[in-house]
Every structure is written in structure tokens, then in C-alpha cells.
């Protein structure tokens, strides 16, 4: 089974892109789909209705969706294998910019919208820098020059990433993506690993202290004194 | 070198095959695309811009010099032989004019710093209200954005194929734009509702219901008509500038401009 992990900010066009991928491979591969979101998601019902493929959703609730992904992915891969899928597509909620859902196997795709702002790629940290492929969507809404400026920004940030742009509603210029998916290797479930280091997940705020101001807090995070930015917290 | 561009037919909005097999466009040709709103003019040039391979709504395919383009050309702006001015008149990038042009020049593989000044200067030929290098592109007006993007397409896009979607809108100086891009050896395609522009091009592609309905070649009478229409258009333009400059129409001005 091949694995495709699709991440990106809300409304970037992840589902629109996934629909194009399913439309393209529908008659060639058996596909299973999983959506991980925080509180609400409709993709499973939508894709199930439109393509009749096995789908599932998981709500992460209080947990970061990528942390939730790590916890349930083992079971999810097993479920997808059981459905007989050749290709397992996982759509992440992509809200936590410290984590990234990509694994050491399969393909990681980050979806970015052309109208999300020029500085978005650099703000997204590991979600962009650990992806194999970046797909820029909604190119029908901006000028050619602006698209190319955004693409250049991503290239500056991540020179090796495979970059593509598309109108995800029509599925334009995605042949390259389709062939990369086809050529991608089968995953071995036993040694699925996260690609990036997960950030330190607990601090006094995480455990429920509500007081505001650093004096009230202690433990596993510390303030870096002006070294990089005025306020940047890293694990101790 | 790009010497010809071929459009292989697709389907109209109702799914009927278009009634031509292919349209070949040669270097140096100017073409206008005309037809009612919604007839598929923008879709036609977007197919060219994307070097469509049957993967747009129209299912058209585009060949360069008779060959399907490689994926490098489709995905790398620095290799793309096509610059397009979209109907869009808004920029979302939170950058100054200078930063925007710099990054775009880098995307297109141009490293000269002169190009920024030249592009801004050219853009200022097309618009009344001057654009400044440290303006944010997000605050430029529709016409200023248009002017900047046209100058950018000509100098930074610097491509052998230039596609322009309704440049007559947004109140820019279209005569100046047309003069600069005529006779350049490039393929220039105008989507337009403006008879002055339509009559000036060597060929006209007529659209209807998402399909190409006809391809017409400019006849001799039309060359003459285009000239007359241009004169008339220049007069209208002159009056527009008078009004913009806070002047009233006097008998003198009437004699001068309406003669
Ligand atoms: N014009 C245009 N609209 C698009 C494009 N891609 C997606 N959209 C629209 O953008 C909206 C969001 O797209 P989705 O695919 O649902 O985005 P998503 O990333 O899956 O969003 P969440 O899962 O809710 O985070 C929808 O209304 C889509 O129709 C595109 O390329 N062009
Ligand atoms: N051959 C086609 N098949 C399916 N849909 C099409 C086709 N051609 C155009 N369309 C769709 O029809 C709509 C209108 O087309 P388009 O925007 O190209 O019109 P236009 O001629 O540029 O109109 P305007 O003058 O208003 O700008 C678009 O949504 C476009 O995607
Ligand atoms: Mg979605
Ligand atoms: Mg249009
Ligand atoms: Zn997280």
C-alpha cells in the first residue's frame, strides 16, 4: 500500500486536491481515505458519497491534530490495509505549526493557497520544510506574476521541494504529482516513523495553570533572551 | 526558440467537440479573442498559459513548436515562455513594489537590478497616478496594479508569448501599451471587448459557448478602419484627460479636439 499525507492550513484546498487525485486514480487503484480534524469535518461523508471509497474520520479534540495522527495512524494503516487499499490518503487538519504529520515513508504533500499571503510559507515551519511536495492552489484567483512570486518564496525556503501549482477545482497541471504518487514506494507498517522531531508538548499552561505572565510559570519551557526574537520559547 | 504555438481543439460548454482541428499561431502574430461575456475567452488564453494537456475544463491541448511541452516548462517559471496579464486587478502579497519585482525577477532567472527601475518607469507610462517603488502592492489601485503587471510581463516575464486579458479596463493608457508590444516578433494575444484593439490585430478568434466559432484574418479595409478608429479613440482619450485634469470643455477645446 502507498501512503499520501496531505497537510496545509484550513481551506487551503487539501480536499479539492485529494478529490482530483481520487478522480484520476479511481479506476486504477483502490483508495482509502482518512481525515483528522479537531472538532468538525465532513470530508469522509463527502468522498464516500462522491466516489464510494472507504473513508474514516478522527477528531483530535484537545490534542494537536498531528499528535493525534501519530497515536492513531498505526490502527488507521491497519484499517486501510484491511479495506484492500492500494493507496491510503490521509488529510491532516494542519492547525499546529510546530508539528508536521509527515512520515519517513510515503509522500508528504503540503497544500498552500495562492491567496493565503506571501509570508505564510515561512510561518508554517515543519509543515513546509519537511514536505516532499508543495502544491499551490487557487491559481485562478491571482495574477501570474503573483503566483510566481509565491512559488519563488517557497523555493527560497526549501530549494529541494517539488513544486506544483494548480487550479484544484479543475485539476490543472497535476500529471507530475500523479506520476510521483505512482512511483512512490509501498510502506512497511512495522517501521513507520515520524519525519520530524515532535515539539515538547507539556508546560505549565498545558497542565492547566491559567495565570498570565512568565513569573507564574516554570518547568519545561524557557524564554530565549532576544537571541532570535523577543519572545521565542524552546524546550528546556 | 519558440516559433509556433498550436492549440488542439477541445469541447464546448455542452461537451460538443470544437469545429477545428488545430489553430497554429506563429511568432510575430498579434491576435484578438472576441465574443460575448462568458463565451470562454479567458478560458482559451488560460489554456495557453497553463500549457494545458487535456486537463482543464475545455480539454484543449497546447503544443510548442509542434511538440507537447516538457514538465520542466510547465512547472518552472524561469523556463516558461508565456507571460499573462489576468483580468485580476488585485495583489494579495504583502510586499513593496520593489520587493515584489525583485522576487519575480529572481523567479524568472533575471539578476540585473536595473530591471526594477525600468519596470516601474514603464508602468508609469501606462497610468496617470504614479507608482512608487516603496508602495505596497496591496494598496495599488486596479489601474495601477494592471499597469505594473503589464510592465512586469513585458520586461520581467520577457516571454515570447504575451497574453493580455481585457487591458482596456481599469482606465490605463491602452494606446501606449499597444504601441510598445506591437512589432516585437512575439506572439501577442489580446482578449478584448474593445473594437480598436480587435481591429488592430492580424487575426481575430471569435468565441461562443466555450468554443472557437471562427478565426478571421484582418482584411485591407480593416487595416484602414483600425487607423480611423484609433484616431477617434485618441480624441476620446484626450477629452478624458482634460476632464481628469479638472478642465471644462470650451469652444476652443471643441475645435481642437473634435475636429
Ligand atoms: N477558485 C478556487 N477555489 C478553490 C481551489 N481549491 C479549493 N478551492 C475552494 O476553497 C475552499 C476550501 O477548499 P477545501 O478543499 O475544502 O480546503 P481544505 O484545505 O480541505 O480545508 P479544511 O479541510 O477545511 O481545512 C472550497 O470552497 C474550495 O472549493 C482552487 O484552486 N481555486
Ligand atoms: N469549453 C468549456 N467547457 C467548459 N466550461 C467552459 C468552457 N469554456 C469556458 N468555460 C467556463 O465558462 C465560464 C466563463 O468563461 P470565461 O471566463 O472564459 O469567459 P470570458 O469570455 O472570459 O468572459 P468575460 O468577458 O466576462 O471575461 C468559466 O467558468 C469557464 O471555466
Ligand atoms: Mg478538507
Ligand atoms: Mg474573461
Ligand atoms: Zn502539534
Interface mutation vs chain A, best among B54, B55, B110, most A CBs within 10 Å: B55
Cα torsion angle, B174, B193, B74, B138, sign = positive
Instruction: Out of A42-46, A188-192, B231-235, B244-248, give the one with best mean pLDDT.
Output: A42-46
Are B119 and B245 in a shared domain?
no
B66-122 pLDDT tens trace: 999 987 787 777 788 999 988 777 888 889 999 999 999 999 999 888 999 999 999
Instruction: Find the domain containing A215 and state its range.
Output: 200-236
CATH number at residue A108: 3.40.50.300
Q: Which residue's C-alpha comes closest to atom 7 of ligand 2?
A: B210
Chain B residues with CB under 8 Å of A159 CB are: none
Distance (angstroms) between ligand 1 centre and the Cα of A16 equals: 6
Q: What does DSSP say about strands B203-208 and B211-217: parallel, antiparallel, or unpaired?
A: antiparallel
Instruction: State the nearest Cα–Cα gap between B55 and chain A, in angstroms.
Output: 5
Of the pLDDT bands very low, low, confident and very high (cuts 50, 70, 90), residue B158 is confident
A193-197 average pLDDT score = 83
Are B11 and B63 in a shared domain?
yes
For residue B242, pLDDT over 90 is answered with no
For residue A97, pLDDT over 60 is answered with yes
Q: What does DSSP say about strands B4-8 and B22-26: parallel, antiparallel, or unpaired?
A: antiparallel
CA distance B181 to B4: 18
The number of distinct structural domains making up chain A is 2
Are B169 and B227 in a shared domain?
no
Instruction: Find the domain containing B190 and state its range.
Output: 1-81+159-218
User: What ligand 2 atom has the least distance to the C-alpha of B210?
Assistant: 8
For residue A51, pLDDT over 90 is answered with yes
Answer whether A91's CB lies under 8 Å from A33's CB.
yes
B207-224 pLDDT tens trace: 999 999 999 999 999 888
Are B56 and B171 in a shared domain?
yes
Of the pLDDT bands very low, low, confident and very high (cuts 50, 70, 90), residue A236 is very low
Confirm or reject contact between A144 and chain B (CB < 8 A): yes
Distance (angstroms) between ligand 3 centre and the Cα of A13 equals: 7
Q: ipTM of the predicted structure? A: 0.84
Among the listed ranges A44-58, A90-104, A156-170, which one has the minimum average pLDDT value?
A: A90-104
CATH number at residue B199: 3.40.50.300
CA distance B19 to A222: 70
Are A215 and A122 in a shared domain?
no
Among the listed ranges A147-161, B176-190, B219-233, B245-259, which one has the minimum average pLDDT value?
A: B245-259
CA distance B123 to B150: 7
Q: What are phi and psi of A192, to 5 degrees?
A: -75, 125
Are A27 and A109 in a shared domain?
yes
Q: What percent of chain A has pLDDT over 70?
A: 86
- Nearest-Cα residue of chain B relative to residue A142: B88
B17-61 pLDDT tens trace: 999 999 999 999 999 999 999 999 999 999 999 999 999 999 999
The pTM of the full predicted model, rounded to 2 decimals, is: 0.86
Are B206 and B228 in a shared domain?
no
For residue A229, pLDDT over 90 is answered with no
Amino acid at each position: 500500500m502507498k501512503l499520501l499525507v496531505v497537510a496545509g492550513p484550513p481551506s487551503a484546498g487539501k480536499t479539492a486536491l485529494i478529490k482530483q487525485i481520487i478522480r484520476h486514480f479511481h479506476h486504477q487503484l483502490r483508495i482509502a481515505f482518512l481525515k483528522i480534524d479537531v472538532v468538525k469535518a465532513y470530508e469522509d461523508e463527502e468522498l464516500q458519497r462522491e466516489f464510494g471509497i472507504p473513508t474514516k474520520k478522527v477528531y483530535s479534540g484537545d490534542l494537536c491534530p498531528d499528535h493525534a495522527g501519530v497515536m492513531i495512524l498505526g490502527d488507521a494503516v491497519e484499517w486501510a490495509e484491511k479495506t484492500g487499499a492500494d493507496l491510503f490518503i490521509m488529510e491532516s487538519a494542519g492547525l499546529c505549526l510546530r508539528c508536521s504529520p509527515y512520515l519517513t515513508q510515503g509522500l508528504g504533500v503540503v497544500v498552500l493557497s495562492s491567496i493565503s499571503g506571501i509570508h505564510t510559507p515561512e510561518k508554517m515551519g515543519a509543515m513546509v520544510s519537511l514536505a516532499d511536495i508543495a502544491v499551490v492552489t487557487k491559481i485562478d484567483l491571482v495574477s501570474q506574476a503573483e503566483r510566481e512570486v509565491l512559488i519563488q518564496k517557497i523555493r527560497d525556503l526549501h530549494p529541494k521541494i517539488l513544486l506544483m501549482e494548480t487550479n484544484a477545482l479543475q485539476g490543472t497541471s497535476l500529471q507530475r504529482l500523479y506520476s510521483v504518487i505512482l512511483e512512490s514506494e509501498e510502506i512497511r507498517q512495522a517501521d513507520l516513523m515520524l519525519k520530524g522531531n515532535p515539539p515538547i508538548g507539556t508546560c505549565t499552561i498545558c497542565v492547566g495553570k491559567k495565570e498570565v505572565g512568565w513569573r507564574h510559570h516554570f518547568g519545561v519551557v524557557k524564554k530565549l533572551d532576544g537571541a532570535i526574537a523577543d519572545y521565542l520559547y524552546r524546550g528546556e | 526558440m519558440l516559433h509556433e504555438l498550436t492549440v488542439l481543439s477541445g469541447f464546448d460548454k455542452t461537451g460538443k467537440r470544437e469545429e477545428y482541428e488545430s489553430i497554429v499561431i506563429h511568432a510575430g502574430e498579434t491576435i484578438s479573442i472576441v465574443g460575448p461575456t462568458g463565451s470562454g475567452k479567458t478560458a482559451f488564453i488560460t489554456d495557453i498559459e497553463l500549457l494545458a494537456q487535456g486537463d482543464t475544463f475545455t480539454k484543449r491541448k497546447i503544443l510548442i513548436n509542434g511538440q507537447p511541452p516538457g514538465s520542466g516548462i510547465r512547472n518552472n517559471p524561469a523556463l516558461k515562455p508565456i507571460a499573462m496579464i489576468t483580468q485580476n486587478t488585485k495583489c494579495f502579497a504583502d510586499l513593496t513594489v520593489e520587493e515584489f519585482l525583485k522576487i519575480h525577477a529572481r523567479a524568472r532567472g533575471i539578476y540585473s537590478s536595473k530591471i526594477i527601475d525600468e519596470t516601474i518607469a514603464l508602468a508609469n507610462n501606462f497610468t496617470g497616478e504614479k507608482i512608487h517603488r516603496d508602495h505596497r502592492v496591496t494598496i495599488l489601485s486596479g489601474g495601477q496594479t494592471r499597469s505594473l503587471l503589464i510592465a512586469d510581463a513585458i520586461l520581467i516575464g520577457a516571454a515570447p508569448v504575451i497574453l493580455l486579458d481585457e487591458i482596456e479596463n481599469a482606465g490605463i493608457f491602452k494606446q501606449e501599451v499597444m504601441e510598445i508590444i506591437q512589432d516585437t516578433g512575439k506572439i501577442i494575444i489580446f482578449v478584448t471587448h474593445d473594437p480598436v484593439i480587435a481591429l488592430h490585430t492580424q487575426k481575430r478568434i471569435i468565441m461562443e459557448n466555450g468554443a472557437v466559432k471562427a478565426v478571421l484574418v484582418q482584411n485591407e479595409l480593416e487595416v484602414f478602419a483600425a487607423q480611423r478608429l484609433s484616431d477617434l479613440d485618441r480624441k476620446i482619450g484626450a477629452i478624458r484627460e482634460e476632464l481628469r485634469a479638472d478642465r471644462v470643455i470650451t469652444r476652443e477645446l471643441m475645435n481642437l479636439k473634435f475636429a
